[in-house]
Structure 1
């Protein structure tokens, strides 16, 4: 059993390095996307697109010269990654498919209860009908299959075909062939995944062995994580604190986890034993560059952890009423080195238009230097290239400089 001691600053640096947010970049090119997802297990997916979907915003902060067609090729042509349920709706490595059998069974029970509550259980009766349709007609949008309307509350599917295909997706009968904006085109799972993946046996001999794999995997999604309740433990099985404490204890005793004592914290932190080599990189002096983070970035899953380790309070205010928002609808955190120093709200971006920044906020106490401003503008160049934008608008540039000058005078 191994225990290491870290300061808050060392933990912060470890998390940044582990997440591939340090410079020079640890993950490179097309293969680097798969390598990053393999390290962290899953990346959370959200279809909302203001200046890129959450997953694209995550990858652009880790992969130089990233374009969204790189991910589409990896997912929907080469099938190296797959859409699935993990921490909420996520993307994970295709070879992990057999490991998620128990989670698919849990989702099956959950969705059946939801459909019953919404008076839409009839949707399940059409599973064989839809399978036959896809077998005869090929990949399809739910809208192309007319099974009638579903009776439900305001949150449910409007069409029985949509409810049925969502159910079939979650239990693993069908998968996503491609996405057309936010619309899913479904196909039979056997047409999408390699036979060796589909035919692979689930590798667990008991619920307990699955739990231990799943808890360890979730720690790897962040890098070093505590055992208290938090955003990193959201989801089936992992949110069960009693189950979690038992699994973490056994994993630690078996040497699968290393316990991390963080100075100034009472919580138990853990990391995977196989990630201990990253501790050696804490002595390396990385370049201090600016990064724009995604709202649902793995680094930000636990808002309390972010506040305690990075001294940065962040919430995604998309679903908060306008009058109750502190900042804005879609606000991105700004990282410099291993510190979160600002946040900004971009306008909806389409095509080759200049990028417009609605609002910019420096963190209170952040020391703004000419070097930081230069790195910030360099990051905007990279970000605009990712967006296929003509660049940062003149008005936005002037706004940021004006806000920065006021901030420097007040600090």
Structure 2
């Protein structure tokens, strides 16, 4: 077994920040093309409904893409370049990753419980309505009439929409304001998209490769964040990839991390120590809080979920990154 390469914690921080593309290169693509490239590199951008400063997906992309405009996501979604689904949370994902959403969709379709109990009759009615009428939002069912039973019951219809979305029968074709517009998946998906269901090994390898591409280094527990049933299979795949030379291990202080071979070459790149970024609480860099504490000595909590008397900083304090160091909130 090759000898472990050692890097310092400071070097690890630099590699991670550079790999997260938070310091925009002058050669980086701008605008809509830049957004797509950023999503393909990061693997996802989290969608969040909180809009104190701006919604998380806009905030995170603004920090990474020159010339970012909010309409770019809708344009990419309508063109079939990206899609909405569940990563560790609601997210925009590149269409190139579509096939890796299929295992969860099939599990839900085959009986795995989601947030709500299935109502097959309502789901069939909602699906038929969209097939007949075209793309619809949840609020359209508040006023639409149904031929068999009169007025739609809006709440069950909304739950049915979400279930059909999660199990893959419907997709979001765009958002109007922040409202999802649903259509049949076959009408949304590009003709050439890969619809083959990955094996467990393929899925785990994808999760590992995508995470290292976006985050540079990781421990076994960082892969498959908040995904159920992957822990053992990811560990097995990591060992196989090590044996195949697809990944390596780096020692950072007392801890051992996985990385792609050659990741230390990033240390040759310049990283401004004075440039400041105010990050979204849901930014890809810091969404795994325990990892941030270990690697950046940064203990951050979004306090909108904390009772007011227990808050230290306020309802919506934002992390401040200067160079490769978190300097406050």
- TM-score with structure 1 length normalisation? 0.71
- Cα contact 1:4–1:260 (8 A) shared by 2: yes
The runs of 5 or more residues in structure 2 that have no matched partner are 143-150
Deviations 1:382-409 (A, max 9, x none): xxxxxxxxxxxxxxxxxxxxxxxxxxxx
- The alignment of Structure 1 onto Structure 2 pairs a total of residues equal to 318
Deviations 1:16-37 (A, max 9, x none): 1001112545633121211121
Helix, strand or coil at the partner of 1:65: coil
Residue in 2 aligned with 1:140? 136
Residue in 2 aligned with 1:175? 171
Matched, 1:280 2:265: yes
- Cα contact 1:292–1:335 (8 A) shared by 2: yes
Residue in 2 aligned with 1:236? 228
Helix, strand or coil at the partner of 1:91: strand
- Cα contact 2:43–2:94 (8 A) shared by 1: yes
Q: Which has the higher contact order (CA 8 A, sep 6+)?
A: 2
- Cα contact 1:174–1:186 (8 A) shared by 2: yes
- Alignment counterpart, residue 159 of structure 2, candidates 138, 157, 163: 163
Q: C-alpha separation between the residues in 1 aligned to 2:195 and 2:136?
A: 29
Helix, strand or coil at the partner of 1:327: coil
The runs of 5 or more residues in structure 1 that have no matched partner are 150-157, 344-411
CA RMSD of aligned residues (A): 2.4
- Cα contact 2:200–2:233 (8 A) shared by 1: no
- Alignment counterpart, residue 294 of structure 2, candidates 289, 308, 316: 308
Matched, 1:271 2:259: yes
Residue in 2 aligned with 1:369? none
Q: C-alpha separation between the residues in 1 aligned to 2:192 and 2:104?
A: 20
Deviations 1:61-89 (A, max 9, x none): 111232212222222x3221111112211
Quote how far apart the aligned CAs of 1:165 are: 0.7
Residue in 1 aligned with 2:186? 190
Q: C-alpha separation between the residues in 2 aligned to 1:258 and 1:26?
A: 29
Residue in 2 aligned with 1:202? 196
- Cα contact 2:34–2:66 (8 A) shared by 1: no
Structure ranking higher in helix proportion: 1
Matched, 1:245 2:235: yes
